[in-house]
Amino acid sequence: MAKPAASVPKAFGRARPVISGVRPVVDSGRYPAKGAIGEAVAVEADIFADGPDELQAEVRFRHENESRWQSARLTPVGNDRWRGEFPVLRTGRHRFYVRASIDHFGSWRRELAVRAGSGQSLAAELLVGADLIRRAAARAKGPDRRRLGALADGLAGADGLELAMSPELEELMNRHPDLKPAATSNTYPVEVERARARFSSWYELFPRSASPDPSRPGTLADVEARLPYVTRLGFDVLYLPPIHPIGITARKGPNGVSTARPDDPGCPWSIGGAAGGHTAVHPDLGTLADFDRLAAAAAAQGIEVALDLAFQCSPDHPWVVEHPDWFRRLPDGSIRTAENPPKRYEDVYPLDFETADWRRLWETLHGVVEFWIGHGVRIFRVDNPHTKPMRFWEWLLAIVRDDHPEVIMLAEAFTRPRVMEHLAKVGFSQSYTYFTWRNTACELEEYLTELTRTPMADFFRPNLWPNTPDILHEELQRGGRPAFVARLVLAGTMGASYGIYGPAFELLEHVPRHPGSEEYLDSDKYEVRHWDLDRPDSLAGLVTRVNAIRRQHPALQQDRTLRFHSVDNDRLLVYSKTACSIPGGTGWDDAILVAVNLDPDAVQVGTVRLDLTALQLGPVEKFAVHDLLTESRYHWAGPTNYIRLDPETVPAHIFHLERLEG
């Protein structure tokens, strides 16, 4: 018995192009790629077909709340790869797909030129072209329709070949292409956030260490009084570690010792006490009204207050009594404390997300976020999200974003790469990175290339920190001022988003708790510190300058165009960023070239070989490089140029490239 004829899927039809390798796509569209207001979403795909015909392709896009699709052209960039971009003008979920078809007019035009070049008769081919143009006229309206009709008629005349090859005809035909039959890709999501998710400068400080009076701890009012200082430094996000009541039971003493004195303030991440839990303010810091005033005062100066979101409890947290089943118990009935062997945190109880009461736990934690949103917080730094279930974060971030698309979440997850990546996929806006532990030129180039040039860049936004209250890298411990300068320049120019833990950073704090430790000696994680912000050796002036450069130069406000340039000295690192203000435009409106001496102990010299293609410069084009740190200016030409960096005087260049006439 003969087999019945197989039916042909409708999707096959007469469409000949093949579309594959679409970007930005995350896990085949399971998770959205990331976008931000103020940038275009770059789309790429491999597009090809059988035979020699020309192709035409476009990206179709819309906000999910809109019904009308818009389109933008894709252009070939070589090896069957096509690229284009579409603008995003509002936050929320967008969708896009790629569509491709045979360009019959382009194919005809190319073959016509070949026939003309070999002296063949063009009469029949001009009739074919006239028919293609008349079909385009039928698709057009108004003046375009009339002009296309006239051009179609004109092909029969003596100037037919000239008309066929005219830029006018090409432009008109491009405006009214024949896109059927077309092949289409799957439809993919892009989550678009506000601009600060893409470009932000963070400053971290402990409120209790903000007092100008050494005789007392700081308060939220003292933080408010310090806002002009943070503003002068040029930061737009002020991140506060937990401001909640701190437990007394098993409280840590100075340097994290397990025995605290009666007046030791404890660690802010040991959250909860008699005065309340995650929705309370530590009485020593002030009140909710004080926090509201701080947030309003910061906003008036262009700064957003970011709060720490640490879902854990001290033994004295109200939840321990109200919801005892939210904590994991040992066989003896005691609650297991937090551990990160060999470290032990006897003052912290982790939440048990496997509790039978998990729904109420999730809802309560969501309530914490909503509470602080109600008090004006729109940015959260999330403590150790990798120690909580991924599905919880996927649920929480989705529900918060649905109601508050302006909320930004930074993941503090120094953990395994795949875990960090998945947290970004499920919705975290930004993430801490391994930048702190990448210190050689090779390490930095390899890692930043991974973050900015591979498919990881479609969903993972890095936030680079040279230091945190938990991390004082050996490079800063031993490298002195030159190391601090180098790490500041690297973080502030390689990353569109970066942060410092201050005033420890600008005041060059570099002594570890003990040899081999990455923790600070006398850290204000465990005690009140008083900082002399007026010290003459402070890096505040340099921090201010770097942040001003970041604000003035769009090239530094995104990560997509980061490119590294070869140099014949592995103690030097050279890289660039460029920006074009017109989406889809050619050339650059802003170009920054950075050179950093990674050796804090010695002068380093080298010959740089610039990637002129990345800089969109000609092979012998002359250009000026203006050092934005020292105001020095040099004239360069071609790819090969000399640099010399002295760690004691000029450990880095931040060059603005300027084209020269003639």
**What pLDDT, on the 0 to 100 scale, is given for residue 222?**
98
Residue 9 binned pLDDT confidence (cut-offs 50, 70, 90): low
Q: Cβ contacts of residue 559 below 8 Å, gap of 6+?
A: 451, 452, 457, 461, 462, 495, 496, 577
Residue 585: is its pLDDT beyond 80?
Answer: no
Q: Mean of the pLDDT values across residues 72-79?
A: 96
**What pLDDT, on the 0 to 100 scale, is given for residue 213?**
96
When mean pLDDT is compared across 86-90, 154-158, 501-505, 652-656, the lowest value belongs to 154-158
25-60 pLDDT per residue, tens: 999 999 999 999 989 999 999 999 999 999 999 999
**What pLDDT, on the 0 to 100 scale, is given for residue 178?**
86
The residue from 44, 204, 236, 412 that is catalytic is 412
- Specify the residue for token string 């201010």: 544
482-492 pLDDT per residue, tens: 999 999 999 99
**What pLDDT, on the 0 to 100 scale, is given for residue 257?**
95
Judged on CB neighbours under 10 Å (0-12, 13-18, 19+), 188 is buried
CA atoms of 83 and 23, how far apart (whole Å): 9
Residue 582: is its pLDDT beyond 60?
Answer: no
Residue 224 binned pLDDT confidence (cut-offs 50, 70, 90): very high
114-165 pLDDT per residue, tens: 999 999 988 899 999 899 999 999 999 999 999 999 999 988 887 889 989 9
**What pLDDT, on the 0 to 100 scale, is given for residue 523?**
96
Q: Mean of the pLDDT values across residues 400-408?
A: 97
CA atoms of 613 and 611, how far apart (whole Å): 5
- Bridge partners of 410? 381, 430
- Specify the residue for token string 């150790």: 384
Contact (CB, 8 A) for 210 and 275:
no
Contact (CB, 8 A) for 466 and 491:
yes
**DSSP category for residue 471:** B
Q: Is 412 a catalytic residue?
A: yes
Mean pLDDT of the chain: 94
Residue 587: is its pLDDT beyond 70?
Answer: no
Instruction: Give the distance from CA 540 to its chain's centroid.
Output: 25
Contact (CB, 8 A) for 271 and 278:
yes
CA atoms of 429 and 408, how far apart (whole Å): 6
The residue from 383, 506, 527, 599 that is catalytic is 383
Nearest residue to 220 via CA among 296, 301, 313: 296
**What pLDDT, on the 0 to 100 scale, is given for residue 158?**
77
**What pLDDT, on the 0 to 100 scale, is given for residue 340?**
78
**What pLDDT, on the 0 to 100 scale, is given for residue 580?**
74
Structural domains in the chain? 18-192 (2.60.40.10), 560-659 (2.60.40.1180)
